[in-house]
Chain A
Amino acid sequence: MPVNTKIASKAKEKLSAPFSAEEGKKLYYYLLKTRTVDEANRKFFRQGKLLGTYFSAVGQEATTVVPTFLSRPTDAIGPSHREIGCSITRGIPLKNMLAHLMAKRTGMDKGKCHPCHYGGSEYRIITPASTMAAQTVVVTGCALAFKIRGEDNIGLGFFGEGATAQAGWHEAMNFAGVQKLPIVYICQNNLWAESVPARLQAAITDYSDRAKAYGFPGITIDGNDVVQVYVTVKEAIARARCGEGPTMVECKTYRWYGHSEIDPADYRPKDELEGWKKKDPIPRFEKYLMDQVMLTPADKTKMVADIEKELEEAFEFADKSPLPAPEEALEDVYAPGTFEDWVKGWLK
């Protein structure tokens, strides 16, 4: 794979699919589930059921669901705050995700972190911090651990184009290049870092150009074309797994809503959103699968019913879950059995 290959944005409908019907169907299920849950969460937020705020990823699902779908459960994921697709595809139960958004004790973080910061060691998803690109550095360390141990696991690092301006991001990419670490970096270029347009963040158009400076391939693709993301990331993962080093995949995509639900995103031109809605990755992929006779309307009907049932049960579980007791704020500071008296000494 040459450095800075630019793959033209053309869906490959005419070619035979790069996956089996069963695989295609499963991938569609995760995309649909991510979209359905994400839209439902926005509704729950408006109903006052969620606390704090909510970061929707609607519109950019392909960039998180597809790489996670292609990974193994033992591969490490370093997400940011808009990676609901990673968590759903890796299998964090919806009920715990909902509880997390409601700051309940049954959330993965037991009510301690911040909305949409999904993670947990059993899923090998690094629970994110809110400082941008921080997890890019951490997941690079996961890849280093795999290399030191001689394991064939890889790291998947997710970040927006805005995060590539961070110093730590550069340090991670540079080190990954030097050590040829087993990692794939997924840049979700959704054109806006909260309210700041890409033109004020970098003097380049394609962020994958940055990879050249680190000595590994950077590729820019249509992040709303599920098949293209699949083919590109699959090759990048294979490269990482067999010791050929990192790849940066820049996915051009778009978030439909504001940075969070309290942001009306009125800094964006209206026609820009409408243009991107026409490139919605999910109907595009649905059409592709139906053209390939890999998915039937009946399959879709069943999937929708299954997802809605699971969501309903998850909501009920989360809604009925207790909030943490106040003193639970004093737990999980240090490892079990260490310095508990010190932390609880504050009560005296």
Chain B
Amino acid sequence: MTEPVIRVENLEKQFILHNADGARIPVFENLSLDVEPGECVVLAGVSGSGKSTLMRSLYGNYLPTGGSVKVMHEGEYTDITNARPDSINDVRRKTLGYVSQFLRVIPRISTLNLVMQPLIDNGVSEEEAEPRARELLSLLELPEAHWDLPPATFSGGEQQRVNIARSFVWDYPVFLLDEPTASLDAANRERVVKLINRALERGAAMIGIFHDEDVRSQVATRYFEVADYKVAA
């Protein structure tokens, strides 16, 4: 049995809204989950059950209230919940890829450069990075005329594909996918499914949220019910 690449142990998250009289919003507690290479764990549950909160907590974007998230990073576990910011950034750069529903556009950076960025950040030369970025952009059928433009003015679907290209251009050992196919048409959904399956075959581990039943069934190796860990009101 292979070692899990993500070990979530007794994770707990609640929001405290200090500017709303300290209101407490509990999301989940005692949540544990191990994911091994080649697995794609699809988070199930109705909207509001805490799927996105879990994803963000796994990425270090949200600060869990308790428990740990250990990610296998360069042969050792790094606990995302209490690692130094520079280690988290290192984990994010090399190990942990994240595809959100939204693209955070950086002013004046062209689509091509945006997609090349993860490679450059990992020390790949520009000469090597550019053809790989181009390959992904054409695979996702983003019109070549758009490549030199910053994606700020692109449609939702186009931005989403830039986002996906940007994540899959680097072979992250672990992917967190937060509705990557949300605003895509059927043909593009198929392409993303292919990318995901290709990554799974090479041994990547994934945790994902997919609203589309069809996509879900094509990529999921198992389901995980976040609502099971809901804090009893």
Q: Do A and B come from one complex?
A: no
